[in-house]
Chains A and B, each alone.
Chain A
Amino acid sequence: MSLRLRWARGAGVTMIAGLSLVAAACGSGGESTAAESAGDGKLPAEIKLVGVRDTTGPVAYAGLGAVKGTQLAVEEINNSNFLGEGVKITVTEKDSANSIETASSEVTSAIADSGVAAILGPAAGQQAAAVAPVAERSKTPIVFTQAGSDGVVIGKYTFRATSPMDTYYHLATEYLAAKGLKNVTVLYNATFPTFAQLAEKTMPDLAGKSGLTVVSSTAVQATTQDFTSPTRLIAEKKPDAALFFLTAPQSVTALKQLRQAGYDGPVLGTSVQGGGNLKSAGEYGKGVIYPTDFSPAQSQGKSAEFIKNFQAKFNALPDQYAAEGYDAAWWIARAIKASGSATRDGIQQGLAKVAAEGFEGAMGQLGFEGNDMRVPGVLVEWDGEAEKVVTTTP
């Protein structure tokens, strides 16, 4: 009942504000068939999205990054009249505060508000896994960023704008193979689903393909803080390269202690090292190589444009979380345009349609596997101050 009421009100505003809709359709032109449907007056003047992510707590950097990326995208979408003159996207951000209950409560509230067209979901895997079935049940499209674990993209209405780490980690193994670094060690945090998956399933696979030998694979816990013993074991193996899949603080300690244990070969990490998380490692962080889905060092096409605009707006370099938040918002905008509808079902169909075709975003040419994004990825090296792109060609 309230649904009809709200949409009626929305439509009214559209008619008043949308006198020049035809012009809008022309202005945004060139975008194939979608442009016509955007212009036929079906879209409300305000399309409400809700973002539910951690903007406080231990992984606040991921949530805050995504929020900024989304803000930039929405500004671009609205200013360019991408969805037609007078059609604006607004995003209300909610802090899930590192709590599964809060995330699922905020998502449920957003779903209950029939004015909300789609949700930008939490970055933490556990929160995402808890809200995914809620979104499916209520047929509300939700686009996650990060949330790399299983059980997140589970049906028609759940989408993810982040490529799982294991889909582009081949960049690292191919680099090692190209450099002739055959014997590698792995040190990983086995309590983190993403790292566990990467170390236990993906690495053996990739190593086989690239002709590498994993000489040792050392598991630690999320609570492990001192790495004197595990790094000694690694240094003793004298590997050609040492790989580590650890959280940001763990990485700093492991790097330092690995060097102190007498290992001075190349070290490879994960995209967790992005976003300046290696700064506190100082000297020890220099030269660490890792594949990531986005780097501010990228200098081509849409990525470069995104970096430029982001810097202009926030006076800082974007990180991968911002790029993901940016692409997630653009994905939704394209979806609305593609289906010509800003209803929940319309957006769901649109998201699937856009996914089937792929598009170019901040993270490069984006492909999709079902509702799950795939990116080309980029291999970067931390030089102590910033990332620079590493080329795999020998």
Chain B
Amino acid sequence: MSDWYAANIVLVQSTMTTLLLALSIQLPLRVGVFSFAGVGCYGIGGYAAAICMIRLEMTTWPSIAVGTLLAGAASFLLGLLIQRLNGLYLGMATIAFTLIIAILAVNGGSLTGGAAGLFGALGDLTTGSILAVTLVVVVVFALSETGGLGRRVDAVREDPELAAAMGVDVSRYRRMSFLVSGLVGGLSGALTILLRSSITPAEVNFQLVVLALTVIVVGGFRSWAGALIGSVIFVWLPKALDFVGEWETVVYGVIVVLAALYLPGGVLGLAADLYHRLRSGRRGGETDDEKGAGGADAGPGAVAGREFDQLAVPGEGR
């Protein structure tokens, strides 16, 4: 066990930092905000933490705190600026934001180390401490998926007008989603960089946006558990595919396509589906009722779109 752990410590840690990054993209989506600013915040958090450690000679956790808060602040301001954008226009604006962060880093002179980036920012991080931080974030996210808050978040996404009519301050929810997404993205960046000890502008790129999105869509994009499943899959897949050798990337692509084809609700959706079937099998005639209840807040016709079924999953334990 400890041998296994020593050999795979990077993947274990990377699973958690990837989860945080995925959550920072997932949260805005859950509120109906198509924002990829979390990836830019990953860059801000990473750079800020590295600069704190190298230039200001701060210790590990204060550096991470600075990175996290700075990224949160940047994201919040960005949210204020672009909150009236919608859909893919918002997506494009946040991708532009992310790519601009990388270009600022290239042109940042001695502060950011230019194209060569920063190195030597090795934080004093243990897997346990990363796990603790990740757990805190996950618990907060899990709470936001249940109870009144969970329902309000769903309402803001599915029907903003209706939510507003019912007294939910929609734009406040959207602004908060930017803030939280920035904080978590920044935290992910700070942790990743202090684990790796180096950061270059080339790492904050469109590919990272793609990775985060793939993680949550394949895992399941309505719940933190989906993000976790996705992170585990994509962090460990290269190792699991070691045996196919040079064609590893091809197999990776095929898996993503198959997931998109056959798992519309992600792996989590599949699990929820099986769970439903198991339960309805036991209880017989109640199937229809249950499906109706599962899709209730998604409006009619959503039954077939399994993604909405999972909406009910995290709350079902109540």
Q: Do any CB atoms of chain A lie under 8 A from CB atoms of chain B in the complex?
A: yes
- Known contacts A95-B248, A113-B7; is A193 also within 8 Å of B200 by CB? yes
With a CB–CB cut-off of 8 A, which chain A residues contact B287?
none
With a CB–CB cut-off of 8 A, which chain B residues contact A99?
238
Q: Is B171 in contact with chain A by the CB < 8 A criterion?
A: no
Q: Are B115 and A105 in contact (CB under 8 A)?
A: no
The contact of B6 among A101, A112, A125, A149, by CB within 8 Å, is A112
Q: Are B7 and A112 in contact (CB under 8 A)?
A: yes
Give the interface residue-count category, chain A. Answer: 35 or more
- Chain B 1-35 residues near chain A, CB threshold 8 A: 3, 6-11, 14
Chain B's closest residue to A129 (CB) is B198
Q: Are A105 and B248 in contact (CB under 8 A)?
A: no
With a CB–CB cut-off of 8 A, which chain B residues contact A55?
246
- Chain B 100-129 residues near chain A, CB threshold 8 A: 103, 106, 114-117, 119-120, 122
Q: Are A151 and B196 in contact (CB under 8 A)?
A: no
In the complex, which of the residues A105, A111, A221 has the most CB atoms of chain B within 10 Å of its own CB atom? A105
* Interface residues of A, dominant DSSP: helix
A250–B198 alpha-carbon span in the complex (Å): 27
With a CB–CB cut-off of 8 A, which chain A residues contact B235?
101
With a CB–CB cut-off of 8 A, which chain B residues contact A56?
246, 248-249
Chain A 165-197 near chain B by CB (<8 Å), digits 1 or 0? 000000000000000000000000011110111
A183–B6 alpha-carbon span in the complex (Å): 56
- Known contacts A104-B10, A126-B202, A190-B106; is A154 also within 8 Å of B120 by CB? yes
Q: Are A105 and B11 in contact (CB under 8 A)?
A: yes
Q: Is B203 in contact with chain A by the CB < 8 A criterion?
A: yes
Q: Is B144 in contact with chain A by the CB < 8 A criterion?
A: no
With a CB–CB cut-off of 8 A, which chain A residues contact B10?
101, 104-105, 108
With a CB–CB cut-off of 8 A, which chain A residues contact B246?
55-56, 95
* Interface residues of B, dominant DSSP: helix
Q: Is A266 in contact with chain B by the CB < 8 A criterion?
A: no
Chain A 97-124 near chain B by CB (<8 Å), digits 1 or 0? 1011110110011011100000000000
Chain A's closest residue to B250 (CB) is A56
Q: Is B239 in contact with chain A by the CB < 8 A criterion?
A: yes
Q: Are A105 and B8 in contact (CB under 8 A)?
A: yes
- Chain A 1-49 residues near chain B, CB threshold 8 A: 2
With a CB–CB cut-off of 8 A, which chain B residues contact A193?
114-117, 200
Chain B's closest residue to A152 (CB) is B119
Chain B's closest residue to A138 (CB) is B6
- Chain A 130-146 residues near chain B, CB threshold 8 A: 130, 133
Q: Is A215 in contact with chain B by the CB < 8 A criterion?
A: no
Chain A's closest residue to B234 (CB) is A101
Q: Is B201 in contact with chain A by the CB < 8 A criterion?
A: yes
Q: Is B197 in contact with chain A by the CB < 8 A criterion?
A: yes
A99–B3 alpha-carbon span in the complex (Å): 24
Q: Are B202 and A222 in contact (CB under 8 A)?
A: yes
The contact of A196 among B6, B7, B14, B116, by CB within 8 Å, is B116
Q: Are B119 and A192 in contact (CB under 8 A)?
A: no
A101–B234 alpha-carbon span in the complex (Å): 11
With a CB–CB cut-off of 8 A, which chain B residues contact A100?
196, 203
A129–B202 alpha-carbon span in the complex (Å): 13
The contact of B238 among A97, A108, A151, A196, by CB within 8 Å, is A97
- Chain B 220-259 residues near chain A, CB threshold 8 A: 235, 238-239, 245-246, 248-249
- Chain B 120-156 residues near chain A, CB threshold 8 A: 120, 122
Q: Are A151 and B3 in contact (CB under 8 A)?
A: no
Q: Are B239 and A105 in contact (CB under 8 A)?
A: yes
The contact of B14 among A101, A125, A129, A191, by CB within 8 Å, is A101
Q: Closest 10 interchain pairs by CB?
A: A151-B119, A193-B116, A112-B7, A112-B6, A105-B10, A129-B198, A109-B7, A196-B115, A130-B196, A133-B197
Q: A104-B10, A125-B200, A151-B198 are in contact. List 8 more A-B contacts (CB 8 A).
A: A2-B3, A97-B238, A99-B238, A101-B14, A104-B196, A126-B117, A133-B120, A150-B119
Q: Which residues of A contact B (CB under 8 A)?
A: 2, 55-57, 95, 97, 99-102, 104-105, 108-109, 111-113, 125-126, 129-130, 133, 149-151, 154, 190-193, 195-197, 221-222
Q: List 5 A-B contacts (CB under 8 A).
A: A101-B10, A108-B9, A125-B200, A133-B122, A192-B115
Q: Which residues of B contact A (CB under 8 A)?
A: 3, 6-11, 14, 103, 106, 114-117, 119-120, 122, 196-198, 200-203, 235, 238-239, 245-246, 248-249
